[in-house]
Amino acid sequence: MSFIGKLLGFFIGYRFGGFFGGLVGAYLGHLADKKLYELGSVNSSFFKRKETRQSLFMQTTFAVLGHLSKSKGRVTQDDIALANNLMNQMNLDDKGRKLAQEAFNRGKDPNFPLRQVIREFCTACGQRSDLLRMFLRIQLQAAFADDHLHENEKEVLQVVAEELGLSSFQFQQILMAEIAARQFSRGGFYYEYNGSQQGDYQQGGYQGGGYQTHSGPTLQDAYNVLGVSENDDRATVKRAYRRLMNENHPDKLVAKGLPEEMLEMAKEKTQQIQAAYDLICKAKGWK
């Protein structure tokens, strides 16, 4: 994000109001920089036009979603319904819905340049890790919408994670966290990954790397959401909690390029993190 507004604001404010005036000017300049960044346009060779960062985020989301759907062999009515439900959840207007539908259809193309699209997306986002991780989490949520992660979907998501600059270990961490986080937003299923590259998540019974049913989130779910273990001390757990809350702060993500229509998704993520932390504190007797 540019610092020009802050610098100009400080000097102008300092000239007319001294040091205090400079601080006020720097703050106003910061707000101006922030707004210019949000409204700024970025180039996209895939979409063949300049886009705002938020518009590019939205279209890339649906393009990759279309690619995920096609990776299983064919796009089903359930896949289309999932995309439409996401559009409804985001309250997209007619223009936004049309762009999302076009992106989804382009993502279904067998020659969809996944790596190119993600690389351009990363550049447009300024390589901001929190924003990029949020993008991956949204794709994981979509992939798990039918309570089943197809092996081809997992391979696509691994490519996305790689292009986002995440290691295989980091991808597995986010994957486990997302599986566990689902227990804090809806009850019913608890997935347990066996840690191998051949692991699969299926509905219909425990199948060595499938899932076990529970009435609600477990303590292990809470540890997985925060990326900590039962042996970590209070300071470590609290540090992980604060880092995740800051990384997923809705207003900060929107300022960096998350579409405002996805604000509720970011809020849900912070609610999951809070619920996981509260469960650990309760189990450990921490106040």
**pLDDT per residue over 64-82, tens digit each?**
999 999 998 888 888 888 8
Predicted pLDDT at 207:
35
**Whole-number average pLDDT of the chain:** 77
User: In which residue are the tokens 């608890």 written?
Assistant: 190
Q: What is the pLDDT of residue 134?
A: 87
Per-domain residue ranges of the chain: 1-38, 42-165, 167-189+218-286
Residue 202 has pLDDT above 50, yes or no: no
Q: Is the pTM of this model over 0.85?
A: no
CA-atom Rg of the chain in angstroms: 21
Best-predicted range by mean pLDDT (85-89, 124-128, 158-162, 244-248): 158-162
pLDDT band, very low/low/confident/very high, at 115 (cuts 50, 70, 90)? very high
* pLDDT band at 7; cut points 50, 70, 90: low
Are 65 and 83 spatial neighbours (Cβ–Cβ below 8 Å)?
A: yes
